[in-house]
Amino acid sequence: MTDLHAVATDLLANGRGILAIDETPGTIGGRFEKLGIESTPENRSAYRELLITTPDLGSWIGGAILQDETFSQKTTSGTTFPEELAKRNIAAGIKVDTGAKPLAGHPNEKVTEGLDGLRDRLAAYKEKGAVFAKWRAVYTIDDEVAPTPGASQANAHALARYAALCQEAGIVPIVEPEVMLEGAHSIERCAEVTANTLRGVFNELAAQRVDLRGIVLKPSMVVSGKAGEAKAGPDEVADTTLRVFAEVVPAAVPSIAFLSGGQTPVQATEHLQAMNSRGQQPWQVGFSYGRALQDDPLSIWKGDSANTEKAQEALAVRAKANAAASKGEYDASYEPAS
């Protein structure tokens, strides 16, 4: 039987983090389009292969989250992506939700779908090498009504049903409740909403008898809204995030892997560093970044194989910086001189 606690702990052990490359063809297609890259299955595969074959990636990355399409694509060596990751001592994960859809009766709020048939899909992914899975719930935030109790409850319930099915299948669930960065809210409002969101999620996880020792929590940090005037700096972000999490996240959870959520790559590293400079926490505090790891390599690659090496170097810089920040050891010397 899979030791879920060992997997959930190992994913973030020794400062390693998670590389999120599980964008749907639609989402990555949008990012490709901005850079003039054609979004074909071949280009998407080439891009993901470039990322995971970055030299020494396994020194800083313990897991990579893939999307369904990538999971069955072959690399140029003829291997599958999970096989290629395993060679580098990187665990393969799979996004199993089918996306956030408008929630009926709740304007501007969404509920994540994908529970139907999930037991069978998890069994098939496990067969193909999935060690962990991911499900992302998104919480709209504003100063007055959102997130509403109805949207919070629906998302927390789905996250818990998903997590229980993963554990039944011997797969570690990444539980991802994301409070959006979009909005003009203050950091205090984000703290209040994040605390309520996490309380709701842990209530539902308990109701569905999820073993907290065998999950990875992937939350958003407590930050000021993107459109707001006053922006909290790294120290305030770190102190407020750690205070909220100390109040509501049980110490049984082994690993918290933050998402980057639209922060710049350097901001995401600085925030992680500030948190880990506060000393030991009840959980490992690490990263599961998508854009904050990929923004630089993607804009360097631009769909041209002549740029592969430079793009890999850029991914290595960010992965190494975030691994250092996960140990509280990051400083400006990790950033290339510009």
C-alpha–C-alpha distance, residues 55 and 53, integer Å: 6
What count of Cα atoms within 13 Å lies in the side-chain half-sphere of residue 331? 2
By CB under 6 A, what part of segment 160-189 binds ligand 13P? Answer: 176
What is the C-alpha R_g of the chain?
A: 19
Residue nearer to ligand 13P on the CB measure, 79 or 226: 226
Is residue 290 at the binding interface for ligand 13P, with CB under 6 A as the rule?
yes
218 catalytically annotated: yes
51 binds ligand 13P (CB under 6 A): no
| Residue span 201-240 as binding mask against ligand 13P, x where in contact by CB under 6 A, dash where not | ----------------------------------------
Out of 95, 110, 218, 320, pick the active-site residue: 218
Q: Which of residues 310-329 bind ligand 13P (CB under 6 A)?
A: none
Contacts of 306 (CB under 8 A, 6+ apart): none
Task: List binders of ligand 13P among 242-261 (CB under 6 A).
Answer: 259-261
Contact call for residues 163 and 134 (beta carbons, < 8 A): no
Residue 38: closest CA among 254, 301, 315: 301
Whole-number minimum distance, CB 73 to ligand 13P, in Å? 19
Q: Which of 289, 301, 330, 334: binder of ligand 13P (CB under 6 A)?
A: 289
How far is Cα 149 from Cα 162, in angstroms, rounded to an integer? Answer: 20
Half-sphere exposure (Cβ direction) of 69: Cα atoms closer than 13 Å:
20
Task: Please state, in angstroms and as integers, the Cα–Cα distance from residue 210 to each residue in 83, 159, 165, 166, 269, following that order.
Answer: 29, 11, 9, 10, 31
Closer residue to ligand 13P in complex, CB, 123/226: 226
136 is an interface residue for ligand 13P by CB under 6 A: yes
Burial of 52 (0-12, 13-18, 19+ CB in 10 A): buried
Shorter beta-carbon distance to ligand 13P: residue 49 or 178: 178
Query: For the packed helices 187-207 and 149-169, what is the interaxial angle rounded to 10 degrees?
Result: 50
User: What are the tokens at 113?
Assistant: 């779908």
CB of 102 to ligand 13P, least distance (A): 18
* CA–CA separation, 275 and 267 (whole Å): 12
Query: Least separation, in Å, of the C-beta of 65 and ligand 13P?
Result: 6
For the CB of residue 136, give the shortest distance to ligand 13P in the complex, in Å.
Answer: 4
Shortest Cβ distance from residue 260 to ligand 13P (Å)? 3
85, 175, 292, 321: residue in contact with ligand 13P (rule CB under 6 A): 292
Query: In the bound complex, which residue of the shown chain has the CB atom lying closest to ligand 13P?
Result: 290
Please indicate whether residue 176 is annotated as part of the active site.
Answer: yes
Binding footprint of ligand 13P, residue count (CB under 6 A): 10
Q: Name the site residues for ligand 13P (rule: CB under 6 A).
A: 20, 136, 176, 259-261, 289-292
Active site residues per annotation: 176, 218
